[in-house]
Amino acid sequence: MKSIEEIREQLSNGRYDLSAHALKRSIERKIMFFEIEEAGANAIIIEDYPNDKISPSCLLLGYTKAGIALHILVTRADLDYLKIITVYEPVDEIFENNIRRR
């Protein structure tokens, strides 16, 4: 299972692949690849799903250079690249301080 350091490295260096869902959502939400990479460089794990049905995964929180918070859901499978399941800006009504669920 990938460590947060490996995840950060792969995100910040563009060694990731977006699922069809993540690609569709990033276009709809106007989230650019460079923003994913910026947020990925400083991301922390805020929720861990070691028993997810397809592979272990985790929810990351990172910030772009412009200060935009992004949640990035990724698999933690040991691959040469990182698979992004979805990406979005956290909604205040759901997340307190972009981290804790209300």
- The pLDDT, as a whole number, for residue 92 is 62
pLDDT at 9 over 80: yes
Global pTM value: 0.87
CA 79 to chain centroid: 16
- The pLDDT, as a whole number, for residue 94 is 54
**Percent of the chain whose pLDDT exceeds 70:** 89
Domain segments of the chain: what residues?
A: 4-87
* Phi, psi dihedral angles at 34 (to 5 degrees): -65, -30
Q: Contact at 8 Å (CB) between 91 and 101?
A: no
Residue 22 CB-density burial (10 A; 0-12 exposed, 13-18 middle, 19+ buried): buried
Question: Residue 6's pLDDT band (boundaries 50, 70, 90)?
Answer: very high
Q: Contact at 8 Å (CB) between 58 and 40?
A: no
